[in-house]
A and B are shown apart, each in its own frame.
Chain A
Amino acid sequence: MSLLLDFLDILLATMRDLIPIVAIIFGFQFLVIRKPIVNLSRTLFGFFYVLIGLALFLQGLERALFPLGRLMASQLTDPAFIDLHALLPGEFSWQNYYWVYLFAFAIGWSTTIAEPSLIAVAIKANEVSGGAIGVNGLRQSVALGVAIGISLGCYRIVAGDPIHYYIIAGYIVVIIQTRFAPKMIVPLAYDSGGVTTSTVTVPLVAALGLGLSETVPGRNPLLDGFGLIAFASLFPVISVMAYAQLAEFINNRRSAASA
């Protein structure tokens, strides 16, 4: 029974999310374009599926993964756990947090693989590129970027460095890469930064950032808890361009070898 009530609650919230979009689309369709929608029933079914799908997805995450993920984030950052597994027992050192970095890496990678909006963009990119960009290749390289980004972000919280040095250094790498990466990957790479951080990744990563900044001595959760999302949006840009550069490099070598 509570399952059903929860579902209705989340369904309502998802509907509130969807309503402005539906209103804008149909408003413009009827008032400005003034043409009937092709395949209206199929489209409506599609919207219905999106609504039901998102609601089920969110409810499942709330029920299963988020509580466990949050619990694990707080347990892994617990000073007692850190001390128990410390490389340098008794003194505060960033190296003692190695399980946290590993967890950040693993959770960043695995949540990104499950991120619905990334799947959407990967499907579109695969379609538009005529199959040159693989759905899984793109998703894996984005996921790797998020994984590296979040573990580095955790290191930053533990070490207490100011966030903008990292972000600005990342931008500089992006700018240099843009110069050399294959032209067709650049817009997609820029997009993948914003795509990665939505339904699945944000709540778990936020819990991790908060847990860390609350327990690491000398950190302020209000100032240091933020910023992990920014890392998770920056590094996929780098990793997607790197993926394309690597693919191009291998291709060039192969064609050079066969020539």
Chain B
Amino acid sequence: MPRTLTNLLRSLGGSARDLAPIVLVVVFFQLAVLQQPIPNLADLIIGLVLVLLGLTFFINGLEMGLFPIGESLANAFARKGSVLWLLAFAFALGFGTTIAEPALIAVAAEAAAIAADASLIGKDQDSVDNYAFGLRITVALSVGFAIVIGVLRIIKGWPIQYMIMGGYVIVVLITMIAPQEIIGIAYDSGGVTTSTITVPLVTALGVGLASAIKGRNPMIDGFGLIAFASLTPMIFVMIYGMLV
């Protein structure tokens, strides 16, 4: 595929520009502020080359694979006209991509340690593991639920701001009664659920749906799925913290 090869080479330059700020920041702080030499310069250079290649491949793969399939699925569902199947797909996508998310697994383990420390649960390994697993299921369910709600919003054309603000109000209210220890984790869990593969796919799905359904504007109705996916975990995790 010679055409893709030239594409790859062209986007290498773009990736280099994207990565330059990190390198500058790290080098500046290391040399000027901490006034220390850079350890393992060879490792740093090898690593940077890998990051550069990786970002380039990823962006190209995005345009070749993830974006088109997200949109074609959205189109197919819109043409099929079965809302139920679409919602089932939305839930599966949200739940399936979140349950295996490594960042979430890490946060859940951390949260379980905190809960055990605060004597909210037993200190034995079993109850810690159970707590962490329950937390993962909770967050995955909440993301599945979020994508379902978000897709429903696109179909119905509901304005997003009232729903998000309503969600914020719920977050604020629950914060007041949730155990102190869970609040920081709950707030963070909103941010960690949406991985690098999920985001492009879900965005393509939303924009594709809003373009395929008559009377929807892809700009106003197509975005917003990620926003739901970062909001509902906060609510669900705090509720989980109160119940367990």
- A residues whose Cβ falls under 8 Å from a Cβ of B: 3, 13, 16-21, 23-25, 28-29, 32-33, 35, 37-39, 42-65, 67-69, 71-72, 75-76, 81, 99, 103, 106-107, 109-111, 113-114, 116-117, 119-121, 123-125, 128-129, 163-164, 167-168, 171, 174-175, 178, 183-184, 186-188, 190-191, 193-200, 202, 222-230, 232-233
- B residues whose Cβ falls under 8 Å from a Cβ of A: 1, 4, 18-19, 21-22, 24-26, 28-30, 33-34, 36, 38-40, 43-69, 72-73, 76-77, 80, 82, 85, 89, 92-93, 96-97, 99-103, 113-114, 117, 160-161, 164-165, 168, 171-172, 175, 180-181, 183-185, 187-188, 190-201, 203-204, 207, 217-227, 229-230
Q: Is the CB of B227 within 8 A of A35?
A: no
Q: Is the CB of A20 within 8 A of B99?
A: yes
CB neighbours (8 Å) of A49 from chain B are 57-58, 60-61, 64-65
Which 7 residue pairs across A and B have the least CB separation, nearest first? A46-B65, A64-B47, A49-B61, A57-B54, A46-B64, A53-B57, A53-B58
Shortest distance between the CB of A232 and any CB in chain B (Å): 7
CB neighbours (8 Å) of B223 from chain A are 125, 187-188, 190-191
Rounded to whole angstroms, the CA-CA distance of A226 and B36 in the bound complex is 29
Q: Is the CB of A23 within 8 A of B96?
A: yes
Rounded to whole angstroms, the CA-CA distance of A245 and B33 in the bound complex is 36
Rounded to whole angstroms, the CA-CA distance of A43 and B114 in the bound complex is 43
CB neighbours (8 Å) of B29 from chain A are 72, 76, 103, 106
Q: Is the CB of A119 within 8 A of B59?
A: yes
Q: Is the CB of B51 within 8 A of A64?
A: yes
Rounded to whole angstroms, the CA-CA distance of A159 and B226 in the bound complex is 32
Residue of B nearest to A50 (CB): B61
Q: Is the CB of A191 within 8 A of B225?
A: yes
CB neighbours (8 Å) of B18 from chain A are 113-114, 119
Rounded to whole angstroms, the CA-CA distance of A24 and B187 in the bound complex is 28
Q: A17-B100, A178-B165, A195-B226 are in contact. Are A54 and B48 (CB under 8 A)?
A: no
